[in-house]
Amino acid sequence: MADYLIALLPLAWLLWIALVVVGLILERRSPAATLAWVLALLFMPYFGFLVYLLFGPRRLHRRRLRYGRARERLTQSTRDPHSDHAIPEGFPDADFERQIALLLARVGQGAPMPAIGITVLETGDACYEAIETAIMAAQHHIHLEYYIWQPDLIGVRLRDALIEKARHGVQVRLLLDAIGSDRINHRFLKPLQNAGVQIAWFNPIGLRRFRLKYVNFRTHRKIVVCDGQVGFTGSINISDEHSQINRSQINCSNQAWRDTHLRIEGKPVHRLQFIFLEDWYFATDQAPFENEFFPRFAETADHWLQIVESGPDNNHHAIAKLYFATITSAQRQLLLATPYFVPNEALTTALITAALRGVDVHVLTPKQGDSRLATAAARSYYDELVSAGVIIHEYGPPMLHAKLMVVDERIAVVGSANFDNRSLMLNFEVIAVLYDAKLATCLARSFANDLHCASRYVKPGRRATLSQRLGESTARLLSPLL
DSSP code string of 33-53: HHHHHHHHHHHSHHHHHHHHH
459 is annotated as an active-site residue: no
Q: One of 240, 313, 408, 450 is an active-site residue; which one?
A: 408
- The answer to whether 116 touches 266, Cβ cutoff 8 Å, is yes
- The answer to whether 410 touches 434, Cβ cutoff 8 Å, is no
Residue type (1 letter), 314: N
Q: One of 82, 141, 143, 220 is an active-site residue; which one?
A: 220
Q: One of 177, 227, 240, 450 is an active-site residue; which one?
A: 227
Query: Does residue 185 sit in helix, strand or coil?
Result: coil
d(CA 32, CA 182): 31
213 is annotated as an active-site residue: no
Q: One of 82, 141, 165, 222 is an active-site residue; which one?
A: 222
Q: Which residues lie below 8 Å from residue 123, measured CB to CB, with a gap of 6+?
A: 242, 244, 256, 259
Q: What is the pLDDT along the chain (482 residues), one digit of tens a residue?
A: 556 656 666 676 677 667 666 766 665 556 666 666 666 666 666 555 555 555 555 445 555 666 666 666 666 655 555 556 678 888 888 899 999 999 999 999 999 999 999 999 999 999 999 999 999 999 999 999 999 999 999 999 999 999 999 999 999 999 999 999 999 999 999 999 999 999 999 988 765 444 444 566 789 999 999 999 999 999 999 999 998 887 766 666 678 999 999 999 999 999 999 999 999 988 898 878 888 899 998 777 789 999 999 988 778 899 999 999 999 999 999 999 999 999 999 999 999 999 999 999 999 999 987 777 777 778 888 999 999 999 999 998 899 999 999 999 999 999 999 999 889 988 999 999 999 999 999 999 999 999 999 999 987 754 556 556 555 555 555 555 55
d(CA 18, CA 8): 15
Taking Cα atoms as reference points, which of 207, 206, 231, 203 lies closest to residue 219?
Answer: 203
Whole-number pLDDT of residue 16: 65
403 is annotated as an active-site residue: yes
pTM reported for the whole predicted model: 0.85
Buried residues in 33-71 as b, exposed as e (16+ CB within 10 A): bbebbbebbeeeeeebbeebeeebbbebeebeebbeebb
Residue 187: Cβ within 10 Å count: 8
Q: One of 141, 270, 401, 436 is an active-site residue; which one?
A: 401
Q: One of 82, 261, 403, 420 is an active-site residue; which one?
A: 403
222 is annotated as an active-site residue: yes
